[in-house]
A and B are shown apart, each in its own frame.
Chain A
Amino acid sequence: MTETGFEHDVLKTAENWAGEGRSLALATVIETWGSAPRPTGSHLVIDADGNFEGSVSGGCVEGAVVSEAIDVIEAGEPKILEFGVADETAWRVGLSCGGRIRVYVEKVN
C-alpha cells in the first residue's frame, strides 16, 4: 500500500508498531460539527510512551488525546472524548476553528 498524498498510512503504522510488541491505542474521529479540521474516520495511533502518528484535529487537541490514550492503554477500556469551543476546557484544548469533534479512543489488543 502506498501513501496517499502527504498523508502517512496510520493503520499500517499501527500494524507495524503492534508487530514490534508496542502497546497501542487508536483514536478515531467519530463525529464532527461545524468546521472541524479533520474528517470523520481520521485516525491517530499512540503508543504507551506517547509517540504518535496521524491526526484527529490538525494539531489543536492531539496533546489531550495522546494523554487520554495513554490512560486507555493502561486501563484497556475504550473512551469517548469530546472537544469544542463550547467545552469548559476550551482555553486549554479547544478547536480554534470553532468546530466540535468526538473522538473514540480504544486499545489495540
Chain B
Amino acid sequence: MDRALLEALNVERAARRAALVVTELGSGKQRLVRESEIEADPLAEALMKIIRSGKSGVVEGETGEVFVNAHLPPARIVAIGAVHISQALAPMAKIAGFDIEIIDPRTAFASPERFPDVTLHAEWPDVVLKERPFDPYTAVCVITHDPKIDDGPLIEALKTGCFYIGALGSRKTHARRVERLQAAGIPQSAIDRIEAPIGADIGAANPGEIAVAILASVIEAFRKRKMFAERRGETEAA
C-alpha cells in the first residue's frame, strides 16, 4: 500500500466518510475509492453492494480476483441530554464499541464531574451540529424531555437519515411532539421513524435499565444496517 493512499484513507475515516480500498490480488495494484467516487468506478455495482452490506470481500474483476475493503465510519451515538440515563448509557455504549457524545446546553447537567471521560458539549445542539453534523452512521437519542432542546436535533436527525432515532417521553408526550413536528412540515413517514417511547420494550423502570433498552435498540438498528433508507423500508431518505 502506498503511504499516500494510506494517508488519504485515514483522512476519509477521520471525517466519518465511507471509503473503499480496491486491491487487484494478481498485480497488487490498488486504488482508494471515496464514497463520492463509487459511481464512476469500473466496479461501481460491486462496490455499492459491498458498502451497503458493510461486508468486505473478494470479487471477480476484469483482471481476476479483486479484494474490496469497505471502511465504514464507526457507529456513534449522540445523546441530546446530559441526564441520569446518559450517565448510564455512556459507559455501556463504550463497552459495546460505540463512540458516544453528549450534548446539553444546561451547564449544570453537562458537567465533566457527572460525565468523566465522555465527549461532552455544554452547548445548544444547533451550535454543536454546525461543527459536527449528524451522518447516517449516527444514532440520535433525544432525552432531555424539553422540546426547546430536543426538537431541533430531532428534526435534523430525520433529515439526515440517522440509522436510529429515539425520543424519550410517554405516549402522551410523544403525541404532542408529533403535532409539533407535523406543524414544522415534517412528513409522517419521517415522523414514524422515531422510536417513542425510546428503547427496546423490556419494561425498563429506572435510568440504568432505560439505558440498556436504548442500547439494545441502537444495536438492533446497527446490526440490521438500517443506515440505508431501503433497508428501513423507505423508497427515499427522509
Taking a contact as CB atoms under 8 Å apart, the answer to whether A18 and B58 are in contact is: no
For chain B, what secondary structure do more than half of its interface residues adopt (helix, strand, loop), or is it mixed? mixed
* Closest B residue by C-beta to A29: B56
Segment at the A interface, from B95-103, B168-176, B183-191: B95-103
A to B contact number (C-beta, < 8 Å)? 65
Q: Within the assembled complex, what's the spacing in Å between the Cα atoms of A26 and B21? A: 13
Taking a contact as CB atoms under 8 Å apart, the answer to whether B94 and A5 are in contact is: yes
**Option from B2, B67, B97 in Cβ contact (under 8 Å) with A109:** B2
Q: Within the assembled complex, what's the spacing in Å between the Cα atoms of A2 and B94? A: 12
Taking a contact as CB atoms under 8 Å apart, the answer to whether B56 and A40 are in contact is: yes
Residues of A within 8 Å of B, CB-based: how many? 26
Does chain A have a CB within 8 A of B28?
yes
Taking a contact as CB atoms under 8 Å apart, the answer to whether A18 and B97 are in contact is: no
Taking a contact as CB atoms under 8 Å apart, the answer to whether A41 and B28 are in contact is: no
Does chain A have a CB within 8 A of B129?
no
Q: Within the assembled complex, what's the spacing in Å between the Cα atoms of A15 and B69? A: 17
Taking a contact as CB atoms under 8 Å apart, the answer to whether B7 and A15 are in contact is: yes
From residue 36 to 92 of chain A, which have CB atoms closer than 8 A to chain B?
Answer: 39-41, 77-78, 80
Taking a contact as CB atoms under 8 Å apart, the answer to whether B3 and A2 are in contact is: no
What would 28 A/B residue contacts be, using CB atoms closer than 8 Å? Answer: A1-B13, A1-B14, A2-B119, A4-B97, A5-B94, A5-B97, A11-B6, A11-B10, A11-B13, A14-B6, A15-B3, A15-B6, A18-B6, A26-B1, A28-B67, A28-B69, A30-B57, A31-B58, A39-B56, A40-B55, A40-B57, A41-B56, A41-B69, A104-B23, A106-B28, A107-B1, A108-B1, A109-B2
Interface residues of B (CB under 8 A from A): 1-3, 6-7, 9-10, 13-14, 23, 25, 28, 55-58, 67, 69-71, 74, 94-99, 119
